[in-house]
Amino acid sequence: AQRVTQPEKLLSVFKGAPVELKCNYSYSGSPELFWYVQYSRQRLQLLLRHISRESIKGFTADLNKGETSFHLKKPFAQEEDSAMYYCALGSNAGNMLTFGGGTRLMVKP
């Protein structure tokens, strides 16, 4: 069975501090992993996917198959990064996403 765990419901940091949002997954096949973000009063949107290996808004995430993790990192948090972040796992066919419970990131001035 697919499962995604985000152990922190809330993460609070000061502006300029490094950020790491944790995500662990359980999946028997080859995983497709995503980070989605939901800013206040906006809809859920894709932030990045592991297959792209890109940095979006300063965020990166590396898939670690040994640790079954896909943590989201940013070296210097900005106030506009405050949002709900969801880690998601795609099925083999890519048509079903399994979401973690989400982490609310608060970046304080």
Partner 1 sequence: NAGVMQNPRHLVRRRGQEARLRCSPMKGHSHVYWYRQLPEEGLKFMVYLQKENIIDESGMPKERFSAEFPKEGPSILRIQQVVRGDSAAYFCASSLNPGLLTDTQYFGPGTRLTVL
Binding site for partner 1 (CB under 8 A): 4, 6, 32, 36, 43-46, 49, 51-52, 86, 93-102
Min separation Cβ 20 and partner 1, Å: 19
User: Between 17 and 46, whose beta carbon lies closer to partner 1?
Assistant: 46
Min separation Cβ 51 and partner 1, Å: 6
Q: What is the dihedral of CA 98, 104, 107, 108, to 10 degrees?
A: 180
Q: Distance between CA atoms of 22 and 96, rounded to whole angstroms? A: 21
User: Between 53 and 76, whose beta carbon lies closer to partner 1?
Assistant: 53
Min separation Cβ 6 and partner 1, Å: 8
Phi and psi at residue 79, to the nearest 5°: -60, -35
> 79 has which bridge partners?
none
Q: Which residue has the tokens 């990166």?
A: 60
User: Between 15 and 69, whose beta carbon lies closer to partner 1?
Assistant: 69
User: Between 12 and 78, whose beta carbon lies closer to partner 1?
Assistant: 12
Q: Distance between CA atoms of 81 and 18, rounded to whole angstroms? A: 12
One-letter amino acid for residue 28 of the chain? S
Min separation Cβ 48 and partner 1, Å: 11
